[in-house]
């Protein structure tokens, strides 16, 4: 419970972290990402990899009937300290996982032509 409290505080006091059954902190290993790709690996690919992993976590949890929230608003150094991350490990997302209290209606989707553009904006 203490670790969840620290994560919640680091995430701008988002209390859903403390209430979650499980909290996943998705991290990038910037050293590994930079080995074959240099600064582009460190600055971009490490973030892309963790974003894809986070989305897969959300989809898998949904399939199991669980509720999640992708939290990206947090103080990175505080989260790293809370999980004892080495210097080369960068927290990128916090994902609280639990059973939903309610099932909200799906949000209205944007029109296809608002999000897809061909050859130009």
pLDDT of residue 36: 87
* pTM for the model: 0.88
Joined tokens for residue 68: 């999640």
Spatial distance between the Cα atoms of 94 and 26, rounded to a whole number of angstroms: 6
Residues 6 or more apart in contact with residue 61 via CB below 8 angstroms: 67, 68, 95, 97
- Averages of pLDDT over runs of 10 residues in the chain (121 residues) are 96 96 97 92 95 98 96 98 97 96 87 91 82
In this structure, CATH architecture of domain 2-115? 3-Layer(aba) Sandwich (3.40)
Domain boundaries defined on the chain: 2-115
Percent helix, percent strand, percent coil in the chain, to nearest 5: 50, 15, 35
Residue at token pair 């939290």: 71
pLDDT in tens, 93-112: 999 999 998 888 888 999 99
CA 48 to chain centre: 11
Joined tokens for residue 119: 């050859």
Spatial distance between the Cα atoms of 87 and 114, rounded to a whole number of angstroms: 41
pLDDT of residue 17: 97
């Amino acid at each position: 419970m203490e670790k969840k409290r620290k994560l919640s505080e680091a995430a701008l006091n988002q209390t859903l972290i403390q209430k979650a059954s499980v909290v996943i902190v998705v991290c990038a290993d910037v050293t590994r990402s930079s080995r074959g790709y240099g600064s582009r690996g460190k600055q971009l690919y490490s973030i892309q990899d963790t974003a894809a992993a986070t989305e897969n976590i959300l989809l898998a949890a949904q399939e199991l009937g669980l509720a999640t929230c992708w939290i990206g608003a947090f103080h990175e150094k505080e989260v790293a300290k809370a999980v004892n991350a080495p210097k080369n490990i960068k927290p990128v997302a916090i994902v609280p996982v639990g059973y939903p209290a309610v099932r909200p209606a799906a949000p209205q989707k944007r029109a296809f032509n608002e999000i897809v553009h061909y050859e130009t904006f």
